[in-house]
Amino acid sequence: MIVPLSIFGNKVSMYQVNADISLIQNTLYLKYIISGNISSIKLLPTKQSNDLWKNTCFELFLSNKNISEYLEFNWSPNGQCNTYKFNDYREKANQDIYERSDFIVKKENNNIIFESKILLNKYNPYIYLDINNLLMGMSVIIETNTLDYWSNQHLHNRPDFHNKNSYLTLHQNS
């Protein structure tokens, strides 16, 4: 499924951001493509290990239709990644998640391409993700001189990637 992401605040942007996501059995394949004049995008190493979203960052939120819990994945172009569990809206669990999902970030022509493969069964000790009821929120933060917030949907007057009302339903690929 290809999903065009939109920039928060109806800004004019020199980029286009698309997500390509598919679910095959218990594996989620995610690709973000940032197209355009990418030379002004900062891909510098992030000093912090948390708060990766304060710089260029790729994110994914996963949950199920019938639960309040969800996972947040953050990936930095410098190779850092974090996964957080939330018990409810912005209510972070006191449980560290040490599972990493493999990912790569590369530049090709006028594109920055992020790809990840997420084995959903690895996260069962933290949250049961029913592949028949899977919800996802996709977002990208792009740092130039400011931060631009891209998402599959913006519902309020500020970026809020934790709002499950903006998540999409993901169906199993055949």
Q: How many domains does the chain have?
A: 1
| pLDDT higher than threshold 50 for residue 69 | yes
| Amino acid at residue number 132 | N
Which pLDDT value is given to residue 148?
A: 93
What's the pTM? 0.92
Q: Among 57, 56, 63, which residue's Cα sits nearest to residue 129?
A: 63
| pLDDT higher than threshold 80 for residue 174 | no
Residue 66's Cβ-count burial label (10 Å; 0-12, 13-18, 19+) is exposed
pLDDT above 70 covers what percent of the chain?
A: 97
Mean pLDDT along residues 70-91: 92
Longest pairwise C-alpha distance within the chain: 42
Report the alpha-carbon distance of residue 36 to residue 20 in Å, rounded.
17
Report the alpha-carbon distance of residue 106 to residue 49 in Å, rounded.
21
pLDDT digits (tens, 9 = 90+) for 8-40: 877 778 899 999 999 998 999 999 999 998 999
Structural domain that includes position 66: 2-170
| pLDDT higher than threshold 70 for residue 111 | yes
Residues with Cβ < 8 Å from 152, sequence gap 6 or more? 3, 5, 6, 19, 137, 138, 139, 166, 167, 168
Q: Among 30, 7, 16, which residue's Cα sits nearest to residue 119?
A: 30
Average pLDDT along the chain: 89
Checking phi first, is residue 152 left (phi over 0); if not, alpha (psi -120 to 50) or beta? alpha
- What CATH number does the domain containing 129 carry? 2.60.40.1190
Which pLDDT value is given to residue 57?
A: 94
pLDDT digits (tens, 9 = 90+) for 143-158: 998 899 999 988 888 8
Contact 15, 38 (CB under 8 A): yes
